[in-house]
Structure 1
Amino acid sequence: MLTVFDSATIAARERLEAWREITAASLAPTAIDSPDPEAFTGRLRSMPLGNAQVTSLSYTSLVARRSSREIRKSDPECYQVGIIRAGRQGIEQNDASAMLGRGDLVIYDSSQPFEAIVSATSLAEAVHLQFPRRLLPLPTRQVAGLCATSLPGNVGIGSLLAAFLTSLADGRTQYIERDARRLETIALDLTTAVLAHHLERENPPLRSPTYTLYLRIIAFIENNLHRPELRPATIADAHRISQRYLHRLFQQHHPAGVAAHIRARRLDRARRDLADHRLDHLTIATIARRWGFGRPADFSRAFHRHTGTPPRDYRSNT
């Protein structure tokens, strides 16, 4: 990981303001105060993982508030998942609150106001995974129910995510771009698994026949992304339901519509292929066709919108 900020290199009276600036740039703008500003110390290290980012932080006592005003000024529309490594830290969001200690996991949303309080006699430490909300394949309204709650990170499936994040934070390896994107996939899959586990535990209806059908449809889409004819009509026919009912299922259980989900998954598969140098012998048009895009020009426009980079530039820079 790269050390982005270390208060030891800054005059005491300037440290808190410098911390505000670096956390705003690296995470999200917040109003930060400290009970003793000149005694404040902090350190921030960061590592990009494709569209995601892992950040290791250590800091003394502070209060961080992200209000509607900060959200209106700047919102990365991200989730942040944190594993607490030292100290006691409190958080409030969505009418929920938790006091977190060593080994606890927590998720919060940059698009909703929150308050975090750290009262420590020594340095508090945490590792954060930040990623765009659109990359999490779980309903936003259900994830909101887990925000600012304490999730165990030292037992069960939570320990897998915690161990992964802390190993990245403690490692000294400088990953190449292709490795970082593979690690992004692992981080998102582990996060999804942890959150889905807790959603299923707290919401038994997720195991209803309706949700089972939704999962079968998601699996069907994953297995048929290469077929150009894959669209809502063919999915509905394959599962003997109406298109209206298909769209209703996605409204209930998915953050995006059917067509948008298909397009995003195809683009993600194409993005991985373009980053895989074992496939350099394949043209961009071939990779586009491989994932259901019949017209290269349509693929290029969609890929540029999805990633912010034209496919040719993406391939040459990874």
Structure 2
Amino acid sequence: MLTTVLDTADLPPAERAAAWVETTGQALISTRVSFLEPDQIEARVQAMALGRIQMSVLSYTPLSSQRTPRLIRQSDPEMYQLALTIAGQQSIEQARTYASVGPGDLLLYDSSRPFTATVGPNPPGARAMLLQFPRQLLPLPEKAVAPLCGAALDGRAGVGLLLRQMLTGLADTHADLTSGDSVRLGTTAVDLTAALLAHHADRQTLLPTASRQRALFEQISAHIATHLGDPRLTPRAIAAAHFISTRYLHRIFQQHGTAVSDVIRQQRLARCRRDLADPAQCTVPIAAIAMRWGYPRPSDFTRSFRTATGMTPSEYRAASQDMDRGQR
């Protein structure tokens, strides 16, 4: 569950800066902070435990934050932090690497190395998500990761986009997750982080097999979800799109307790059921809905739909409309 750890709106203005320093020092890592507009501080911290991993959502007015050698000597949890900028512009310098990032950018930094981060007044303030995890959980050697600390990583394509969507999805669905879900999703988030870093370092072979397979499963699942309307979406086509054999594709899905053909069929039928039950689409021909979600032959769609639901598509639509009228 994503819970609010600090909201400066609940505090007198004179106490807000100190509360931010104390809260972030306890929930994240200790830094030396200077707000650029100390009389107009607005900041909020929300946090969610994912096992040994933590995800936070932060918003703050313009500030400068420093992780100094002295603070590191005093306390170093030996954490990596992956930041996703949601709004605003931020800059960071770590290990002689400087980056300026905006919405959609990802950035990795290391609690064991000094850094300086700045959020300027144009636009005022920023909002970001932060994935924090012990360094030993990242299945990559430090020598491969170190050059990427403080460097901007694209969150708009490939593995970066998948990781960004997962983090924002966690924030959107946190209330529905069990503790077991949270732990598993935390592991997946670190695996995707490792895959992204390996991609940028061109060191994918350094990833352990299990991490590569979990990251690949997430990539393929996202590919399926965005290509459901293509009737040519088959295991062979999916394998070719990801440069793997069909046999290896089936093995990856078997390790997750399912089959790739089952996933395609279940997701297509779920979209069809949603559209058939939608009162706004009651005049859309059933064949058009079937075609929209990858069923070019009505007979194939009817047979698959009846097997899954025990009703024909027309019967399902009629029952859904009757239920909708009864609820009015």
Coarse TM-score class (shorter-chain normalised) = 0.5 to 0.7
**Once the 2 structures are TM-superposed, how far is the Cα of residue 188 of structure 1 from its aligned partner?**
1.1
**Once the 2 structures are TM-superposed, how far is the Cα of residue 163 of structure 1 from its aligned partner?**
0.8
**Once the 2 structures are TM-superposed, how far is the Cα of residue 101 of structure 1 from its aligned partner?**
0.7
Give the letter for the 2:161 counterpart. S
In structure 2, C-alpha distance between the alignment counterparts of 1:157 and 1:169, rounded to whole Å = 19
Unaligned runs of 5+ in 2: 213-328
**Once the 2 structures are TM-superposed, how far is the Cα of residue 173 of structure 1 from its aligned partner?**
1.0
**Once the 2 structures are TM-superposed, how far is the Cα of residue 219 of structure 1 from its aligned partner?**
4.6
CA RMSD between the two structures: 1.8
1:277 corresponding residue in structure 2: none
Secondary structure of the 2:148 match is coil
Matches within 5 A, 1:6-25: 6-25=7-26
**TM-score after normalising by structure 2:** 0.61
**TM-superposition CA deviations, 1:23-52 (whole Å, max 9, x none):** 001110000001221211100100000000
**TM-superposition CA deviations, 1:297-317 (whole Å, max 9, x none):** xxxxxxxxxxxxxxxxxxxxx
2:95 corresponding residue in structure 1: 94
8 Å CA contact 2:85, 2:105 repeated in 1: yes
Matches within 5 A, 1:235-254: none
8 Å CA contact 1:15, 1:38 repeated in 2: no
In structure 2, C-alpha distance between the alignment counterparts of 1:172 and 1:196, rounded to whole Å = 28
Give the letter for the 2:81 counterpart. Q
8 Å CA contact 1:105, 1:152 repeated in 2: yes
Q: Which has the larger radius of gyration?
A: 2
Matches within 5 A, 1:36-75: 36-75=37-76
Count of matched residue positions in the alignment of Structure 1 and Structure 2: 209
In structure 2, C-alpha distance between the alignment counterparts of 1:177 and 1:106, rounded to whole Å = 27
Q: Does 1:147 align with 2:157?
A: no
Give the letter for the 1:20 counterpart. V
Matches within 5 A, 1:53-132: 53-120=54-121, 121-132=123-134
In structure 1, C-alpha distance between the alignment counterparts of 2:150 and 2:183, rounded to whole Å = 28
8 Å CA contact 1:63, 1:117 repeated in 2: yes
Give the letter for the 1:39 counterpart. Q
In structure 2, C-alpha distance between the alignment counterparts of 1:89 and 1:10, rounded to whole Å = 25
**Once the 2 structures are TM-superposed, how far is the Cα of residue 123 of structure 1 from its aligned partner?**
3.4
Secondary structure of the 2:30 match is coil
Closer, same or farther in 2 for the Cα pair 1:219/1:46, shift >3 Å? closer
**TM-superposition CA deviations, 1:209-253 (whole Å, max 9, x none):** xxx6x77xx559x9xxxxxxxxxxxxxxxxxxxxxxxxxxxxxxx
Secondary structure of the 2:129 match is strand
8 Å CA contact 2:119, 2:125 repeated in 1: no
Closer, same or farther in 2 for the Cα pair 1:164/1:219, shift >3 Å? closer
Matches within 5 A, 1:1-318: 1-120=2-121, 121-173=123-175, 175-200=177-202, 206=203, 219=209
Unaligned runs of 5+ in 1: 201-205, 223-318
In structure 1, C-alpha distance between the alignment counterparts of 2:17 and 2:137, rounded to whole Å = 33
Give the letter for the 1:29 counterpart. S
Closer, same or farther in 2 for the Cα pair 1:85/1:70, shift >3 Å? same
Give the letter for the 1:40 counterpart. I
1:294 corresponding residue in structure 2: none
Paired-residue identity, %: 45
**Once the 2 structures are TM-superposed, how far is the Cα of residue 196 of structure 1 from its aligned partner?**
0.8
Secondary structure of the 1:189 match is helix
Give the letter for the 1:94 counterpart. A
8 Å CA contact 1:32, 1:65 repeated in 2: yes
**TM-superposition CA deviations, 1:182-208 (whole Å, max 9, x none):** 1111111111111111110xxxxx48x
Secondary structure of the 1:20 match is helix
**Once the 2 structures are TM-superposed, how far is the Cα of residue 175 of structure 1 from its aligned partner?**
3.0
8 Å CA contact 1:35, 1:61 repeated in 2: yes
Runs of 4+ in 1 over 6 A off after TM superposition: none
Closer, same or farther in 2 for the Cα pair 1:24/1:159, shift >3 Å? same
Give the letter for the 1:143 counterpart. V
**Once the 2 structures are TM-superposed, how far is the Cα of residue 20 of structure 1 from its aligned partner?**
0.4
**TM-superposition CA deviations, 1:83-104 (whole Å, max 9, x none):** 1001110000011000011110
In structure 1, C-alpha distance between the alignment counterparts of 2:184 and 2:23, rounded to whole Å = 27
**Once the 2 structures are TM-superposed, how far is the Cα of residue 172 of structure 1 from its aligned partner?**
4.5
